[in-house]
Chains A and B, each alone.
Chain A
C-alpha cells in the first residue's frame, strides 16, 4: 500500500468531485435541505391546513327527523355547522365535497326514545377528508350531548346520581422520559433517513468514479500510470466514503436543527396534547454518526463494485436503482411497530443500524448490541472493500465490451 499514491488519487478525485454539480446536489444539498423541508416544512404546512379546516363552518344535511323536533332543533342550533336543505343526492354531495356530512334521524325516533326503545342515529361522512371529519365530529358531539341530557333526565326521574354510570375513572399515564417518547415516535425514521442519505450521497460519486471513468475513456489513461490497482481503488473508495460521510454528517446536523426548531415552535404535538420531545442531544448525534460509519464504508464499496460492471453512467444508474430498494426495505422494517433489536436482527446489515439508531435516539444504549452491530457491519464492509479491489483487477470487468 502506497499512502502517497492513495493521497494523490484521493485529492484529484476530490477536486473533480467538488467541481461536479450533480454529485454536490446529491451529497450536500439533498441531505442539508431534506430534513428542514420534510420536518419543518410539512409540519408547518399541515398545521396551517388543519387550522384552515377548523375555521371553516361545515355544511351538513339532516335526513328525516320531522317527527323528532327535539333532536332536530338541537342540530339546527349548532353554531359550528350550517344546515342545508335536504336533497336526494346527499351521498354524491358528500363525495363531491359540496357538503361535509349528513345525519340520518330514524323515523319515529322521538317516540321510540320516550318508550325507551334503542335507536341508531347514523352520521355519514367522507373518510380521510379532513373537513368532512370535522363536520361529522361536530355532529357526533351534538348528538352525544343530547343523549347525555336524556340519560341525565332519566336518572333524575329515578332519583339517581350521574355517578351511577361511572363508578370509577380510568386514566392512562406515561412514565417514560420525554426523550424516550420522542425517540420511540421518530427514532426509527431518523435511522432510516440517515441510512438512505448515506447511500444516495455515495451513489453518484461511485458511478462517476467507475462507470463514468469508463464512459469518458479515462480508465485506460489511469491504468497506464504507475499507480497500483489497489492504491487506485483505495483513493477512489476514500472519496466515495467521504461523500457518504458528508451526507451523513449534514443529514444528522440538519435533522438536529430541524428538531430543535420544531421543539421550540410547538408545531408538533403528541396525541395527548403534550409537546413531543424532539431534541437530539450531542451524544445521540455522535452515536448515530458513529454507527453510520461502517455502513457508509459498506455502501461505498458495494456501490463501486456494482457500478464498475457498467459501461456507462446510465447503465450504472439502472444497476443501482434496485439497490435502493434493497436498502429501503430493511430500513423501513425497523420503523414497523413491534420490531425490536435482538441478537439475530443485530447481524442483519442495514436493519441492525436502523434499529440501534432508534434506540440511541430514545436514550437506550445496549452496549452488547452496539458492539455486535458495529463489529458485524465492519466485517461486511471489509468484505465489500476486498470485493471492490478484486473487481478492479478483473480485465473482463474493466474492459467489458
Chain B
C-alpha cells in the first residue's frame, strides 16, 4: 500500500530560483493494483517516485509505504520496495549472480535463503545461461532481467517502476511489461510512471495525470473517458494538460 500526503519537492536553481518539481501530490495505490503516473518529460514523475523510494527526501508532506513513513523510516521503506528505472544501472565488474546476491545481502537475507531465492528467480526469469557473466558483457535484455532479479530478491510488497521501458527495444520492453503484470497478479502494490499512452492503457488500474508537479486528474481509464467524454487517452491527456501548459507558456 502507498499513500502520499501532500508531497512537495523543491529544488534550488541558480538561474531560475526555487523550482517546485512536485507540488502537493496526494494519491493512494492499493495492493494488487497498478497505479500509472502519466506525464510529459519534466512533469515530476521521477521526483515523485524517487521520494517514494526514499532516494530523495520530501521538502514537505510525506508518504506511507507498507505502513512506514518515508521521512521517518526510509530504510524500512526501502526494505519493502523494489525500485526499477532505466537509470538504475548494474555494476559492470560483478557477474549477474553476484550483483543480485549483493542486493540480497544488503536486504539482510541469510546465505541459505539468498541461495534459494537466487536459484528460484534465475530459473523463473530464464537467466541461468548468463548468471556467471560479468554485467558489462550482458545484452540489454539480459541487463534488464538482472535488474528485475535485483528488485525481486527481497520479495518486496511494493514495486516502483520509473519509465522502465524507456529506450528499450520491443522485446525487452515486453519482458518488463509482462513482469509488471505478474507483480499485480502476485498481489503487490505497483506504481508505474510513463509517457507512453499505450502502456498505460494496457496496464494501469488507476491513472494519475501529472504536469508541472501537480496531480491534475486521477481515475480508472473508464472513469477518465466518461469524465472527459473522450475515448482516446492521448486526447484526454492533452485536454487535461493543455490549459496548464498555456498558463506556463504565458
Say yes or no: A218-B93 contact (C-beta < 8 A), given A225-B103, A395-B56: no
| CB nearest to A223 among chain B residues | B55
- Are A16 and B94 neighbours in the complex by a CB distance under 8 Å? yes
Q: A12-B102, A15-B98, A225-B78 are in contact. Are A216 and B89 (CB under 8 A)?
A: yes
Task: Indicate whether A220 reaches chain B with its CB closer than 8 angstroms.
Answer: yes
Q: How far is the CA of A390 from the CA of B224 in the complex (A)?
A: 45
Contact with A along B79-111 (1 / 0, CB 8 A): 101010101111111100010001101111000
Q: Which residues of chain B have C-beta atoms less than 8 A from A224's C-beta?
A: 53, 55, 78, 81, 83, 88
Within 8 Å of chain B (Cβ to Cβ): is A368?
no
B92 to chain A, nearest CB (A): 7
A301 to chain B, nearest CB (A): 23
Within 8 A of B (CB), among A1-47: 4-5, 8-9, 12, 15-16, 19-20
Interchain CB contact under 8 A, B102 and A8: yes
List residues of chain A with CB within 8 A of the CB of B50: 220
The number of residues on chain B lying at the interface, defined by a beta carbon within 8 Å of a beta carbon of chain A, is 31
**Does A221 lie within 8 Å of B81, measured CB to CB?**
no
Selected from A5, A16, A225, the residue in CB contact (under 8 A) with B91 is A16
Contact residues in A for B188 (Cβ distance below 8 Å): none
Task: Name the contact of B87 in the complex, choosing from A5, A217, A227 (C-beta under 8 A).
Answer: A217
The distance from the CB of A390 to the nearest CB of chain B, in whole angstroms, is 14
Residue of B nearest to A8 (CB): B105
A226 on the interface (CB 8 Å rule)?
yes
Bound-complex Cα distance A395 to B79 (A): 20
Chain A residues within an 8 Å CB radius of B98: 12, 15
Determine the distance from Cα of A5 to Cα of B105 in the docked complex, in whole angstroms.
Answer: 8
How far is the CB of A137 from the nearest CB of chain B, in Å?
Answer: 59
Contacts of A15 in B (CB 8 A): 93-94, 98
Chain B hits for A5, CB < 8 A: 106
Question: Which B residues form the contact surface with A (CB < 8 A)?
Answer: 11-12, 50, 53, 55-57, 75-76, 78-79, 81, 83, 85, 87-94, 98, 102-103, 105-108, 150, 154
User: Which residues from chain A sit less than 8 Å from chain B, CB to CB?
Assistant: 4-5, 8-9, 12, 15-16, 19-20, 216-218, 220-221, 223-228, 395-396, 399
